[in-house]
Structure 1
Amino acid sequence: MQISILTELEYDLPGPADVLLQLEAAIIPEQTVTSHHIDLPKVEHFARVPGQSNIGERIWLRLAQPLSVRYEATVEVNRLVTDIATLPQTAPHMLPGETVDYLMASRFCPADEFQAFVEQEFAGTGGGARIAAIRDWIAGTLSYVPGSSNPQTTAADTFHAHQGVCRDYAHLMIALARASAIPARFASVYGLGVEPQDFHAVAEVFLDGCWHIVDATGMSTPEAMAKIGVGRDAADVSFLTSYGQVELKTQRVTVQEVVPA
């Protein structure tokens, strides 16, 4: 599937600031970026650095004037998709070293708080069957309510509130997977079908030797997503992190399927 992406951001800066951007579709085997272009204002400093787990790139900017970003891309998604419920789990002691960090509790995903819950609620399941059960439980338990959470909301907060947005669904999915001894990480993506259109957040779980996307919101599907980056949770893969004051003026994200002529 081929999708087109248009992202436009405008921020006011009262003074000089260092800004870290991560909003470009990653160049990775599961997707081909067939065209891309990013427009940025004049800056004092520009540098590209690798994203977490070497997926995607981040852009460092140093600037003292308003930040205006326009990013356009076309991405061919080549991701192989399988029925996650059929996938076996890898025993913790057999996991590759690069997955181990994604077993641990993190700032927004306090997995250790959910160990008793997952063993009781999902008893008798394991591996992909447990992931499918967790995904379905989240989808049936939470209500998608824009504005119901904030940047400090954790998976534990979402668990008790029974509501959230895609970021919260992903954090809870990750926390419950890690509590089940299954590595899980946060993925920022562009996804077809997301309403309202915006940057989208999903979980990725490590089963049967590779990573698999899980979207508990049900708004998009793995074959219709362009991955931007990954991290332990949202703090690692924010589309904009500022060191200095910035004020959002406008943000627009448009994701569409490219239909062959």
Structure 2
Amino acid sequence: MKLRVRAQLTYRFDPPTDAIYKMQVAHWPGQHILEETLTFDPSVAFNEDEHAESGSRTLRCHVEGEVTLSYEAVVENGQLQDLSLNVAQHDWNELPADVLPYLSPSRYCPSDQFGRFATRQFGDTSGGARVSAILDWIAANIDYERGVSDTETTAARTFIDRAGVCRDFTHLGITLCRASGIPARAVSAYALQLEPPDFHAVFEVWLNHSWWLVDPTRLAPVAGLVRIASGRDAADIAFLTTQERCEVIRQVVTVTPA
């Protein structure tokens, strides 16, 4: 599918601060960038880095005052497939070394606290069927509601509150998958048909020798996702991270067929 993604972020940085942006489309197998532009207004000097494994791209810069970053790309994202129920789960000794970190608890995903629940709730399933059962449980038990969570909310808190937004759904899905012995990691994405349009948090699981994307909110089709960044949880995929406080002035994200 060929998609055009656009993002325009206008923030006020007072006091001046160092900033890290992750909003460019990732370099990832099967995802091809056909056109791309990026501009700062006013002009800002920046360094660009790329993560060797995930293809995530990072902009590092020093910003002050009101700054607008505009990004646009035309992307061919291939033919992303929905996760099949019969996709097999691996024994841990069969996993690639670079997948192993996504079995462990992380800042927002305390999977070591959910082993007993995962076994009781999903213990008669494995692989794709288990991930599907986890997604069904989240859909039945967690309400999509803004204002319930904040940047410090963990999966354990969401499990108690039974409400949250896409990052909270993603953290809980990752947590329950890791508690089930399935490697899982967070993915930030541009998402076709997401309402209202915004950056979207989903996750992916390692099954049958590859990563499979899933959307625990079920708000956007997997086929319309364009990968930006991936990591252990939201701390690794945030579209903007700053040392000092900042104020959002305007943020616009759109995804349309190209």
TM-score (norm 2): 0.96
- 1:65 correspondence with 2:65: yes
Cross-structure match for 2:93: 93
Q: CA deviation at 1:70?
A: 0.8
Distance 1:52 1:149 in 2: 32
The unaligned stretches of length 5 or more in structure 2 are none
Q: Is the 8 A contact 2:25 2:227 kept in 1?
A: yes
Cross-structure match for 1:237: 237
Cross-structure match for 1:112: 112
Distance 2:196 2:178 in 1: 29
More deviation in 245-254 or 46-55? Answer: 46-55
Distance 1:44 1:71 in 2: 14
Q: CA deviation at 1:243?
A: 1.4
Paired residues in the alignment total 258
Cross-structure match for 2:201: 201
Q: Which residue identity does 1:58 align to in structure 2?
A: T
Q: CA deviation at 1:33?
A: 1.1
The unaligned stretches of length 5 or more in structure 1 are none
- 1:150 correspondence with 2:162: no
Deviations 1:26-62 (A, max 9, x none): 1222211111111113566410112483322100011
Q: Is the 8 A contact 1:52 1:236 kept in 2?
A: no
User: What is the RMSD computed on CA atoms of the aligned residues?
Assistant: 1.4
More deviation in 153-162 or 48-57? Answer: 48-57
- 1:246 correspondence with 2:246: yes
Q: Is the 8 A contact 1:177 1:183 kept in 2?
A: yes
More deviation in 82-91 or 234-243? Answer: 82-91
Q: Is the 8 A contact 1:43 1:63 kept in 2?
A: no
Distance 1:202 1:15 in 2: 32
Deviations 1:116-159 (A, max 9, x none): 00100012101111001001111111111122211111101111
Distance 1:82 1:219 in 2: 14
More deviation in 219-228 or 77-86? Answer: 77-86
Q: Which residue identity does 1:103 align to in structure 2?
A: L
TM-score (norm 1): 0.95
